[in-house]
Amino acid sequence: MNRLVTVLTVLVSMMTLASCSAAADFQQNQTQLETHAQQWRSLEYQGTPSPRHEAAFVEYQGKFYALGGRRIQSVDVYDPQTSQWHQGTPPPFQIHHVQPVIYQDKIVFAGAMTGGYPTEPPVKNLMYYLPLQDRWEVGPAIPTNRLRGGAGAVILGDQLYLVSGIQNGHTDGHVPWLDRYDFVSDQWTVLADAPRSRDHFQAAFINGKIYALGGRRTSKATGQVFSLTVPEVDVYDIQSDNWKTLPRHQNIPTPRAGSMSLTVEPYIVVVGGETQRATPAHNEVEAFNVRTEQWYSWPNLVEGRHGSGVILHQGKLWTGLGSGARGGKPELTTLEALELPAIPLD
């Protein structure tokens, strides 16, 4: 009997130690993700991508696509397996200031601008690029009274959500609008306005909610193109069609526009950006944990940049191109990546 008690005691002790060890490992990995021992690394590649900013940079079936931006130029396609770039078909006109989303076999552009600074008109239709066919299509019209550019966009199932934006390029007309487009029924629906206007930002979706983070209220009409950054984080609950603003202590730590957003559960990561500061562009990378409702600083980019995108692929964050200072110059052709620690997130 005593021997049995001793054996059971030893087993319980071993299980307790194993449990404590697993908890410690998880905590260590979680801390590693939030403090990030890794650093961004500049990448070498073959081929020559076009310099571009206010452009799309997005992944489709394992390849990275750089599309649009100021000027009409070829689509650039990067293969991370071979580190090579090659070119695709240019768009039929300038498409810029847009957050791309993927729907089925299409890269979708909604809430984009076209033309030259400072009164760039909004693009009147959804635009599609079909990567496997290397061709562009004009999609359905956006309602005339809801046209704007510099908007955020997210996809949920067969529905596209278009968030905020600005009606008159960089001059004036920023709006708090939220619209939903259903690809199956070909119907647009006006939803509840956000608590505030913003443009030059990217939206993110996680846990049934749309987050509007970063951006500004661009106003060349009042001489405030870059200065009216938006620190508040606004959250839209899709099921209830209601918005809320997070408490002030949960404002984005570094308010900026032209930033790039991406969901890496349970985080929303905001990368780069521009502000009133002329040079360089922002290199901050900040992540909001939707579970703890706290912001964390992740390693800075090698080069500050804005007006591009950020991709999650094979356990790494990837970004590239964009502008290295406020406004449009210098346009960058560089790529960099950050390896994320492999941890259980659930």
Q: Is residue 147 part of a domain?
A: yes
* Residue 7 within any structural domain of the chain: no
For the chain, counts of helices (H) and of strands (E): 1, 24
The answer to whether residue 16 is domain-embedded is no
Structure confidence at residue 342 (pLDDT): 53
**pTM above the 0.85 mark?**
yes
Give the residue numbers spanning the domain of 261.
39-339
Q: What is the CATH number of the domain that holds 155?
A: 2.120.10.80
Residue 26: inside a domain, yes or no?
no
pLDDT at 38: 85
Residue 29: inside a domain = no
In a domain, 20, yes or no: no
Q: Cβ contacts of residue 152 below 8 Å, gap of 6+?
A: 99, 111, 162, 163, 164, 165, 201, 202, 203, 212, 215, 261
The two tokens of residue 100 are: 């791309």
The answer to whether the CB of 31 falls within 8 A of the CB of 312 is: no
| Residue of 101, 121, 239, 120 whose CA lies nearest to 163 | 101
Is 157 part of any domain? yes
All residue ranges of the chain with pLDDT < 70 are 1-37, 342-346
Show the tokens assigned to 89: 């078909």
- pLDDT for the residue numbered 341: 85
* 346 domain-assigned: no
Query: What confidence score (pLDDT) does residue 37 get?
Result: 58
Please report the sign of the dihedral spanned by the C-alpha atoms of residue 93, residue 149, residue 188, residue 236: positive
Domain count, the chain: 1
- Give the span between the Cα atoms of 119 and 189, in whole angstroms: 27
* Structure tokens given for 213: 């983070």
